[in-house]
Amino acid sequence: MGTSFPENVRVNHSDDSRIKAMIVYFDTNVIRDLAEKRVLNAEEKAEALKNSITARKVIIAPSFEVLYELLSAPSIDNTIRIKNAQFYINVVDWAYALKPSDQMMRDDINNLARVGGPSTPYYPVDKDLNNCIQSVKKGENMFPPAHWRGIVNRSRQQNEMFVKLIFTKFVEKLPSDGKTKLKNSPKKTWDNWWFRGGLADLVADSLVEAVVGRQISDSALTLPTVRAAVGYILHTWYQQIITNTKVKPTDHYDFRNAVLAGGVEGIVTEDRKLKNAIKHIPECNIKACVLEEFIKAIP
């Protein structure tokens, strides 16, 4: 599998009973929590999760970005990295493999311009033929070099875009009295940001320009991936002003996770900032919860 993903791969799940399952995305830390038993009753939670997967109640949509993070975590031994990655490839469904977050959003925007709706978020992977997955099964840590470089470059470019949107576009788009209004009336100002033609639309236009290099006539906020991305950015601004929360260099990972969550029904994350950001977005149908909540909610 290379670094380029087809723009409009269509996956026909119309006759597949598995579509009744909830399709979710697990971020890297949740996988590590389960695989490394870093949480209370980790084995019982992992067993409950595996049972729900076997019963087709839950589908975990995999991402090569998560697999890359598991295999490159700098603070742990390579043996543990491999075990974490093996746990991951055994609980996800590769028929629902997610595109890289930047391509998912780009495809959605281009598809919105063409046919008025999002593209598919999936890029099905043949787990029996994919070299990377097979190497992990054998206990090796081998990403194809081109694929590894591709993910690293995508992450770097997305980080640059995130920083630009957070620090540069904020100054350009926020009205001169925006900070004062937000401090005096947080909820009303937040809601006003999301009205048609408001700050959310302006940021979405900037995001569209950054991703596809042009503007489109439709509102990109109708796309779950774009709405999640813009919502995460606006929530970050909101927290900066209301609580003086500083932006961390690693926040671009959550920016990416928000986009990936927009491609499925929900995200399981222990990052409460990310969870709260998604829940803060008006008219956002993405479910966001911590692992404990997710396990308890499984029928």
Provide mean pLDDT across the span 61-88: 91
Cα–Cα distance between 85 and 143 in angstroms, integer? 12
Helix, strand, coil percent content, the chain, rounded in steps of 5: 60, 5, 35
What's the one-letter identity of residue 166? I
CB 80 within 8 A of CB 36: yes
pLDDT of residue 118: 94
Q: Which of 127, 121, 119, 68 is nearest to 92 (CA)?
A: 127
Q: 163 is written with which tokens? A: 């920083």
**Per residue in 128-185, pLDDT tens?**
888 889 999 999 887 777 776 777 777 777 767 766 766 666 656 666 666 788 888 9
Collapsing DSSP to helix, strand or coil, 267 comes out as: strand
Q: Which runs of E-coded beta strand occur in the chain?
A: 22-26, 58-60, 266-268, 287-289
Question: Model confidence over 23-71: pLDDT tens digits?
Answer: 999 999 999 999 999 999 999 999 999 999 999 999 999 998 899 889 9
Which residues make Cβ contacts (< 8 Å) with residue 242, sequence separation at least 6? 182, 183, 186
- Residue 11's SS3 state is coil
